[in-house]
Each structure stands twice: as C-alpha cells, then as structure tokens.
Amino acid sequence: MNRLLTLDKVTKTFPVRDSLLTVFKDISLELKDGEFLAVTGVSGIGKSTLLHLVGLLDTPSSGKIQLNDTLYISLKPEEASRFRNREIGFVFQFHHLLPEFTVLENVAMPFLIGGGNRDEAKERAGEILGIMGLSDRLGHFPSMLSGGEQQRTAIARALINEPKLLLMDEPTGNLDPRTGHMVMDHLDSLRKKRKYSCIIATHNMKIAARCDRIFPMSGNGENHAGEILR
C-alpha cells in the first residue's frame, strides 16, 4: 500500500496566559492509502487537536504534515481551504448539520461549494445517503432525525467529494453501542466500494479495535503507532 499521510515530528503548543502549553511533542506517524487508524487516549490528551492539524483547521507549532505530494506548510490560506474541501472529509463530534436545510441539501453542500453542478450534487448526495441507509430520509430536516441518523448524514456529507482521507472526531461518542457499530458497518461497506483512509479519534476501544491500527496517545512524548490488529 502507498503512503497517504505523513506526520514528521509534529508538535503543538498553545499560548495560555503568559506561558505555553505543549499538548504533544514530536509526533511522527504514517497512514497508508486505504488504512483505518484509531487515535485513542484519555480526555485532554490531544486527539481533537491532532485531527484539527491533519484536517487543516489549525497549524502545527513545528514539524511537517504531508498528504500525498502536498506539504501543508506550502499551501496559502485560500489553497488550504480548497485542498481541504477536495481531499479531506471531517466529521465533528457534534454533527454541525445546518438546521434550515434538508438531509439531501446538507450532504450536497460541500460538492456545490467545490463548484459542482446541482444535478450531479443531488445524484451524488442521494447515492451516498443510500449507502448510509438513509434513502427514505432525504427530505427530512436534521431536527427530525435520530442521533445516529444525524451522525450518518454528517458522514455522508464528509464523503460526498470522495475525499482520500476521512477524519472523524468521536463519531460514535453520542450513540448507543449498537448504533455506533452500525455506523462503523456503513463505513466498512463503503470501503469495499471506494478506497479511502480514515482516522477516528475515539475513547471506545471496541470501535478502535475495528480499525486496522491503533495510535495510542500517551502524553509523555512517547506517542507511537500501535500494532496492526487485523
């Protein structure tokens, strides 16, 4: 498998009052094309911060991040947002769906923002929502959906531009275990149709165990990628 993502000695510090808080230091990590990686660790260890850096929502204090041939540091701000729209899907812990738009419209949005045409946006959104088991919810507004359905809609939205990399921050954190596994089943079934890689930040070790590999964040500067589990 080819390498998709490389993190080389990535450090993140935040200025807090008159000192610097080091969230993590010198994280080096590689993700292969098609690989699912779980990022685990206790609350406050830096899982969301790491996803934000990989998702171009924040910048490292030092170190390099590269997706395929693109070195993040080389992107100008407007290039970064275009690159993010095209190459990366982000699913937040809370779904962030737009309440005044339907399920179909929410999912179609990133494709339209990327310059896609309306008919194709609808077609793509319908298809990906079908894979997520939501064909009969296209006209619903987010408030009419269950938590699991909202989360699956958010995942469909993150996938509409066929990103190479899907980043998910506690995607099953608000779901009961059965629904959480159902969401994972949908991601697995999509994986058989379309090649993409995924990084999932989660506290849930059962969800983590469904990934190819676990990256346990330890907080003592000894972060390392774990064993391949299957």
Ligand X SMILES: Nc1ncnc2c1ncn2[C@@H]1O[C@H](COP(=O)(O)OP(=O)(O)OP(=O)(O)O)[C@@H](O)[C@H]1O
85, 111 in Cβ contact below 8 A? no
Residue 43 near which of ligand X, Mg ion, none (CB within 5-8 Å, type-dependent)? ligand X
CB 221 to ligand X: min, Å: 15
CB 37 to Mg ion: min, Å: 16
Q: Is the Cβ of residue 12 or residue 47 nearer to Mg ion in the bound state?
A: 47
* Buried b / exposed e along 179-210 (16+ C-beta atoms within 10 A): bbbbbbebbeebeeeeebbbbbbbebeebbeb
At 200, list the tokens. Answer: 């999932």
Q: Is the Cβ of residue 44 or residue 130 nearer to ligand X in the bound state?
A: 44
- Tell me which residues in 33-72 interact with ligand X (CB under 6 A): 41, 43-49
Residue 23 near which of ligand X, Mg ion, none (CB within 5-8 Å, type-dependent)? ligand X
- The upper half-sphere exposure of residue 227, i.e. CA atoms within 13 Å in the direction of its Cβ, equals 3
Q: Which one among 48, 150, 161, 197 touches Mg ion, defined by CB under 5 A? A: 48
Q: Is the Cβ of residue 44 or residue 221 nearer to Mg ion in the bound state?
A: 44
89, 187 in Cβ contact below 8 A? no
Residue 153 near which of ligand X, Mg ion, none (CB within 5-8 Å, type-dependent)? none
* Buried b / exposed e along 109-140 (16+ C-beta atoms within 10 A): bbbbeeeeeeeebbebbbebbebbbbeebbeb
Site for ligand X, rule CB under 6 A: 14, 16, 21, 23, 41, 43-49
Site for Mg ion, rule CB under 5 A: 47-48
